[in-house]
Structure 1
Amino acid sequence: MSFRDLRNFTEMMRALGYPRLISMENFRTPNFTLVAEILLWLVKRYEPQMDIPSDVDTESDRIFFIKAVAQFMATKAHIKLNTKRLYQADGYAVKEMLKITSVLYSAMKTKEMASGDRVEDDNSKFKFDLGSRVADLKTARQLASDITTTGASLYDLLGKEVDLREMRTAAIARPLEINETEKALRAGIKEVLESVEKTKDMLNNVASDETNLEAKIEKRKQELERNKKRLQTLQSVRPAFMDEYEKIEEELQKQYETYVEKFRNLSFLESQLDDYHRLEQERFEETENTLRQMQQKVQEEERRMMKNGVKDSDSDMDIPEDEGSDSDMEDHRPAKPRPIRHSTVAGKGRGGSRIIGTMQGGDSEETEDSEIDVDEDDEDDEEEEENEDLEDENDSLEGSASKVTRPPRGTIRPQLLEESDNDF
């Protein structure tokens, strides 16, 4: 029995139109009713008028049914069936039924092909396709070669017929010897008797073998019972090391839980550390970028100042923290000439001597009045000069501020480095 035989049998029965669906699992175990039903349907399919009894209830009915089917197939279809395998009604019976189904299936196929060829001939009477007849040409060539070989062999045999005819006629014409015939019959009878004795001995041995097998079976049953009882006792008894095993198992479970917790914490801390390093790296890069930008700005300003012709010196670039008083500013600035009324000679600077007088003489009152007027005029002039000086100083400071916007190199770079250190 093989899977291919079961598959082919089921597919052929489905193609032949068997009304019941046959599964490949039906023949895993003996199923005589199904086998008898299939055999009866195959016989009816081959010869609808054949009448075979379908009673398979008893053992004798089954044997008679199998013999009838095998005899019918041997006489009508020339198919030899193994009755023992058919009686087994399992996968081995499928091989025997496959012989019948294959014949019926091939007949159905040839009929379908013939009808299809007839329809094609009717549809294409005036068409001839050489490509579709290549297989027919090959078969015709093979048949022609077989015919030639069989004809040659037949010719050789017919050539030997003359000698063979004489020998055949001599053998037929020779009279039979009774003694030789008796000897042959006696030898045959002796052989049959010997075979009968052997079968009888085998039957006697079968009885003794049955007793031996029964004794062995009983012994095996007793051993099985003992083993079952022993198994039950072993299952009921608790091992001595089981308590220790359970304790160790509980400790192992606790250790595993702590391990899982520590592993989780460690992974979390590692992720936090990675985030911290990444942030630090980003900060460092930002500070480097800011320092680079500031350095570029300083260099650009230096280039701009160099282009404008500003000299880079400490006296010109230093900006004092305290601007100082107006008196200090006036000391560093040269004094302007002051207009003096009724005076012939005026001194330079604020500390210069003044000569006030006229060419004409007069009363003392007039001189005093003239001196008072001169003093008042001098005070007004001084106030005007101070205002002008303040305006000039403001203008000079605004011009210097517009020209110089930063301290020299030595004063600004340490401040930048201190700010970058604070950022870190």
Structure 2
Amino acid sequence: MNINLYKRFEVPTLAWYGQKMQELVFPEEWHVSFLPMEGYNKPLVGSDEIVRALKEPIGTKPLKKLAEGKREAVIVVDDMTRVTRAYQIIPYIMRELKEAGISDEHVRFIMGGGLHGAWYRDDFSKKLGEDIVRNYPVYNHNPFANCTYVGKTSMGTPVEINSEYHSCDLRIGIGSVVPHPMTGYGGGAKIILPGIASYNMIFYNHMVVHRQNPPAESYWGFLEGNQTRADIDEAGKIAGMDMKVDVLLNGVGDSTDVFAGDLQMEFTEAVKVAREHYSTKGVPDKVDVIVANTYAKANEATLAYSNWKNKVKEDGVMVIIAQAPEGQSTHYLYGKFGVNEYAPGHSVPSKPPFKKLIIFSEYKIPDPFLPIAEPSSIIWLDDWKEVVEEIKNTFNYYPSVLILPNAEVQCDEKVLKKFK
């Protein structure tokens, strides 16, 4: 093979498994564009900025002041379907707690997984850091029990939250703000709903309240007027959280910006920056081939599909790179639990609006727990050369190819700028 006749690109994979840059090779004659989000190469946030965020938060007292006189502290982190590197933030929080007089035996952590499956020690270590797992109790959230009723939102959602969380008098959350197809953006009060909410609470918000939104295929970037998000924000106020820390993420999942403070106010400020940070400029109306790499949420690869499927020409090809050794996420509301067994909120996926859907992965699952698309329409391949051959066999001309390195979180700038 003469390397001069080929175009080579790299995309990040295996976020929680050592991280690897996946090489993608294309024939020289193909028209290939690599379009990252604006914040793709933004550097890791400095320690001074993290300290400043905790000492000069948005809409609340400094963390040390909030912690003074408190007896029991809980820190909620998002789960392994989010690439938030909580270990980049936690040491600074722990320092503030110790200076406020809260000793180690009065601190615990909860991984707020909502209706996702339970996680294990190895996951906790990756998310929080080995030192935290060795020295502090870390718990899974149980949405089917161990929740306490604390009120009801104006839309009727029962606010039932993790009982361990509710028992503590200092409550802190760590998460990330990224575009989301249902709530506009993740982050903010989503650490509570769905993060540490009961099944009933999540079901009502996702299945009853969500249907009050104006009809749309998805809601990426949609905040103002989003009933689902408004209900989540109200539930967060009822449940209460002393400080939320949210970060923005670059192309390899490092924290680039940090926002801390009041649950709603810090989220509002984060979104102002996130709208540009996750924007992708120069996206054409339609292309022959989209290569949609998943990294932050490789175990929720359907997000890349829903985000970018309408940019593929009718006779075109979409390639989703989903290098997820753990497979696709368990989801007790939207997932699949047998050949014909579905969770209550599951909707049967339709066939793609284009010719071919290829999943490139070394970790094939014939029937994913969280469906990516209509199963019979998917071509699973684990060799990139075979992917290129499959694309070649689809066209009688040199195709236009668009590579999106973070397809499950980056969005067309026209989509994100359309909403407030």
Question: TM-score, normalised to structure 2's length?
Answer: 0.18
Between 1 and 2, higher relative CO (CA 8 Å, sep ≥ 6) is seen in 2
Which one has a larger percent helix, Structure 1 or Structure 2? 1
Which one has a larger percent strand, Structure 1 or Structure 2? 2
Question: TM-score, normalised to structure 1's length?
Answer: 0.17
Work out which of the two has the higher radius of gyration on C-alpha atoms and give 1 or 2. 1
